[in-house]
Structure 1
Amino acid sequence: MHIALLAGRSAATVWGPRVGVRWWRFGAGVLLGLAFATKWSGVYFVLFFGAMALAFDVAARRQYQVQRPWLGTVRRDVLPSGYALGLIPFAVYLATYAPWFASETAIDRHAVGQAVGRNSVVPLPDAVRSLWHYTAKAFHFHAGLTNSAGNYHPWESKPWTWPMSLRPVLYAIDQQDVAGCGAQSCVKAEMLVGTPAMWWLAVPVLAYAGWRMFVRRDWRYAVVLVGYCAGWLPWFADIDRQMYFFYAATMAPFLVMGISLVLGDILYHPGQGSERRTLGLIVVCCYVALVVTNFAWLYPVLTGLPISQQTWNLEIWLPSWR
């Protein structure tokens, strides 16, 4: 858009200029497709980031004083963005099933004609219809794992507990005949839990990000909010489902990005004096040291190292961690 402005093309029409191929969006589409192929909840990121990309396009056209930025986005940006952030992720998703397509013995590879009739309303290749049948079976199985159907797990959790890691997941624990901790009674446990020095700041960091985005128009924080919400909010649609804290793994990178941006604001502010910069540097260094120390303290329960029973009790900070 800036290049178009310098070339005098930003006001050529009321819709603004065409911006050409944006290869970074194509790359984003490939990565989103890989995320989708890794776990189906990756489709939420496809939708959220696609919407964010169009919002950025509208904002850019407004910034460069295009007369009709919304209509310009519809005419100039929807199709290219739909291709890069919609079609490409779907194509990458299908491409990851290449071994399944190439196999003659894969599960449900030839479901059409056996479990599925040959007649179809939509004319699709039999291989694609078989893949649809295969994935639909998996989806319905997981969708049926609900509390109302009598499915419970002692370490399941609901989305509202994830931002602060209130209910972690205990993968394994051994308290019998464990040696190597230097005490009479040893414990070896593996638990997925977020470092409190980071996770317990999620709510204030997100609130600050919202203020920076909506009030100060700092669109860097939009990526943090959109990415975090894409990994979190969709799970509220069906809270009857069995869910676990490891579903929040996709939220972690955006929490780290948000904290990093906040630390950057603390570390540097335009027009600040040397005393303010020094104070900001001290605050940032102390916080980073706190995070490293906190992670080091939790490291034994993250990796299953033998520790004493007393240390194990000290590692469990909240009643909900038991």
Structure 2
Amino acid sequence: MDISSHTAHSKATAPSTRLHSHADSAEHSSTNRSHVNKTHQPSSTSAATGGTAVLKHAPFGRGSAYSLLSWLLTIFVAGFGGLLRIWRLSEPRAVVFDETYYVKDAWTMLMTGEARDWPKTITLSDTTSTIDKLFASGNTDQWLPTAEYVVHPPIGKWLISLGLKFFGGATNIAAWRISVAIAGIIAIAILMRVALRLFHNLPIAVLAGVLMSVDGVGITMSRTGLLDNFIMVFALGAFSMLLIHRDWARERLREQYAIDASARSARWIPSTSRFDRDHPLLLVAKGPRLAFSWWRFAAAILLGLATGVKWSGIYFFAVFCVLSVVWDAWERRRVGYARWLHTGLLRDAPLTALYMLPLLALTYVASWTGWFLHSDSYMHDWAANHPGEGVTWLPDTLRSFVQYHIQMWKFHTTLDTPHNYMANPLTWPLQIRPTSFYWERVSGHPGLCSLQPQSQCVAAVTSLGNPLIWWIGSACALALLVLAILRKYDWRMWAVWAGFLGGWLPWAQYMHRTTFTFYSIVILPWIILAICAMADWLRHHASKRIWQFSIGIPLGAILVISAFFYPIWTAMPVPYEFWLSHMWFQSWI
């Protein structure tokens, strides 16, 4: 049934727009559908009035989100997390785990413009030493002139090289790690702002920041010169940009809806969906274009940078872009537009892809500028040495570039070399097989070892998350999935799961591959957001006392456990028995 309004008083007969108060969670009121006018006539509330109310409605609670207190707390919590990451950053004074690749690559990139090979051992003054031992002792100029075969894009190593450049060079071990530490600190601040935007509650935002600050994977990955911390912070930053885009799009839709609903030519059709109880009549209009915003533009660049660290960043791009388009389409429906699916998916989605895909590609290719500029880069001359092979219609440099990527792809998809600490991706959220980055016996009895002088003193860096954070977070994520399926329209629950879809589930296709639990750093923010989402659910469905106990008791236990595990996250010398007391399961050793 199509209802047209052509009278001069049509402005007084447009459907009212109901404002949602519960963090824009799309929870509907209990209004009975039988109350809808049987003739499908529009509500008597004026569009002008409704439009004014819409324009006055703050998109995400500006009073709290932009308050001075929220920013002061963000800085304070990020500073607290920063202290945990930067204190004794030069310990251990050794090349740790895959720092043997990334730190040395970053140093030669800074010195020569491209990653260079290193010998395995070097003999100096009749003494043979490993290159890693020499590098850690300050002998950092032993690289070879040949190009290094690197299997990850260069952005992460360039970021490590910035730390080397501005914090004393490779002879300062803290400089190897300062860039990842800064990334970890930034991630704490971003996560707090994301939580505030999602849940509109400052205590929950502080909870998110504190959990991020004290988690073991977050701490160890911010104190070791590896790449995955950068993927996490770029993906989280992009997620934040897309949340801001969503708020911007919602405001624009509401403003335009007020205008369209007040038009003399406005047409309405009855809704037949249970999701539209607040809008028994839907407006037949296209509404505004939402495809482009500078927030989405920034998100595409950040996701291009994430992909420029490791290829796994592209999974975040795919999931987040789909999520953002669906958000916009669904918001059209919630505001009251009839052609929400057609407009959102057939008009806005292609336009969004039209600029976000090229931005991703251009950002990624730009990250390889050093490779293009140096003719002695790895495989740079492949096309010249293999005429008629590869993608022959491309210029030689691009043909070599494509072939290099094919070789990288083969490496990543066939890597199945056994490793003592390899872990099935499905076990990452439970931290079943953490990665031991470093374990050494320490001579003497420094630090905590002095408390037990008869014991062997050891130092360890174990990339093990705070067990309570990961176990509670995993349980909350499953509970959210059930709630999302049952309720079907709380967008925040799906927003939390988007992080898992982009950062974890794609690894299920590589079950045979050699993978490690420390890769789970990329889903840590969403593990924490799952906890925050359930905390927010309790805030609205339980008494204040129950909510306080449900948050306070686990948080206290989490802080105690983090204090207990901090020495083995940061290579503090401890008695062997103390280290062993942290190995709760055989798989943790």
TM over 0.5, shorter chain: yes
Distance 1:189 1:269 in 2: 43
User: In the alignment, residue 126 of structure 1 is paired with which amino acid?
Assistant: D
Distance 1:160 1:106 in 2: 37
The alignment partner of 2:398 has SS state of: helix
Distance 1:155 1:38 in 2: 23
1:130 shift after superposition: 2.0
**Do the aligned residues in 1 keep the contact of 2:256 with 2:288 (CA within 8 Å)?**
yes
Residue-by-residue CA offset, 1:187-241 (whole Å, 9 max, x unaligned): 2111111110101113321122213433332211212101112211111112111
Shift in alpha-carbon separation, 1:74–1:218, aligned structure 2, 3 A:
closer
1:105 shift after superposition: 2.1
Distance 1:13 1:130 in 2: 53
Distance 1:134 1:68 in 2: 46
In the alignment, what sits opposite 2:551?
Answer: 284
Of 435, 439, 444 in structure 2, the residue corresponding to residue 169 of structure 1 is 435
Residue-by-residue CA offset, 1:61-98 (whole Å, 9 max, x unaligned): 32234333322223321123213542212211111112
Percent sequence identity is: 26
1:16 shift after superposition: 4.2
User: In the alignment, residue 7 of structure 1 is paired with which amino acid?
Assistant: I
Of 131, 144, 148 in structure 1, the residue corresponding to residue 414 of structure 2 is 144
**Do the aligned residues in 1 keep the contact of 2:459 with 2:572 (CA within 8 Å)?**
yes
User: What RMSD in Å do the two structures reach over aligned CA positions?
Assistant: 2.4
In the alignment, what sits opposite 1:218?
Answer: 490
**Do the aligned residues in 2 keep the contact of 1:178 with 1:187 (CA within 8 Å)?**
no
In the alignment, what sits opposite 2:405?
Answer: 135
Say which is worse superposed, 199-208 or 68-77, in terms of deviation: 68-77
- 1:8 has 2:275 as partner: no
* 1:37-186 correspondence to structure 2 within 5 Å: 37-115=308-386, 117=388, 120=391, 123-146=393-416, 151-175=417-441, 177=443, 179-180=445-446, 181-182=449-450, 183=452, 184=454, 185-186=456-457
User: In the alignment, residue 8 of structure 1 is paired with which amino acid?
Assistant: D
**Do the aligned residues in 1 keep the contact of 2:320 with 2:498 (CA within 8 Å)?**
yes
Q: How many residues align?
A: 312
Unpaired runs of at least 5, structure 2: 1-252, 268-282
In the alignment, what sits opposite 1:229?
Answer: 501
1:57 shift after superposition: 2.6
Shift in alpha-carbon separation, 1:172–1:120, aligned structure 2, 3 A:
closer
Of 514, 531, 536 in structure 2, the residue corresponding to residue 264 of structure 1 is 536
**Do the aligned residues in 2 keep the contact of 1:29 with 1:85 (CA within 8 Å)?**
yes
Distance 2:340 2:290 in 1: 13
The alignment partner of 2:375 has SS state of: coil
In the alignment, what sits opposite 1:247?
Answer: 519
Distance 1:93 1:6 in 2: 41
**Do the aligned residues in 2 keep the contact of 1:15 with 1:73 (CA within 8 Å)?**
no
1:158 shift after superposition: 0.2
In the alignment, what sits opposite 1:202?
Answer: 473
Say which is worse superposed, 15-24 or 86-95, in terms of deviation: 15-24
1:166 shift after superposition: 0.5
The alignment partner of 1:257 has SS state of: helix
**Do the aligned residues in 2 keep the contact of 1:46 with 1:86 (CA within 8 Å)?**
no
The alignment partner of 1:66 has SS state of: coil
Say which is worse superposed, 77-86 or 245-254, in terms of deviation: 77-86
**Do the aligned residues in 2 keep the contact of 1:300 with 1:306 (CA within 8 Å)?**
yes
The alignment partner of 1:206 has SS state of: helix
The alignment partner of 1:170 has SS state of: strand
**Do the aligned residues in 2 keep the contact of 1:165 with 1:245 (CA within 8 Å)?**
yes
Distance 1:286 1:127 in 2: 60
In the alignment, what sits opposite 2:296?
Answer: 25
Residue-by-residue CA offset, 1:10-47 (whole Å, 9 max, x unaligned): 97865544236322111111111111111101111111
Distance 1:246 1:208 in 2: 24
Q: Which has the larger radius of gyration?
A: 2
Distance 2:320 2:354 in 1: 13
What is the TM-score with the length of structure 1 in the denominator?
0.88
Distance 2:461 2:291 in 1: 50
Distance 1:86 1:213 in 2: 29
Unpaired runs of at least 5, structure 1: none
**Do the aligned residues in 2 keep the contact of 1:14 with 1:67 (CA within 8 Å)?**
yes
Shift in alpha-carbon separation, 1:84–1:253, aligned structure 2, 3 A:
farther
User: In the alignment, residue 587 of structure 2 is paired with which amino acid?
Assistant: S
1:178 shift after superposition: 5.5
**Do the aligned residues in 2 keep the contact of 1:164 with 1:200 (CA within 8 Å)?**
yes
Shift in alpha-carbon separation, 1:178–1:54, aligned structure 2, 3 A:
farther
**Do the aligned residues in 2 keep the contact of 1:54 with 1:73 (CA within 8 Å)?**
yes
The alignment partner of 1:113 has SS state of: helix
Say which is worse superposed, 110-119 or 135-144, in terms of deviation: 110-119
Say which is worse superposed, 281-290 or 162-171, in terms of deviation: 281-290
**Do the aligned residues in 1 keep the contact of 2:476 with 2:534 (CA within 8 Å)?**
yes
Distance 1:315 1:119 in 2: 52
Distance 1:234 1:75 in 2: 27
Residue-by-residue CA offset, 1:231-254 (whole Å, 9 max, x unaligned): 111111121111111121111111
- 1:190 has 2:458 as partner: no
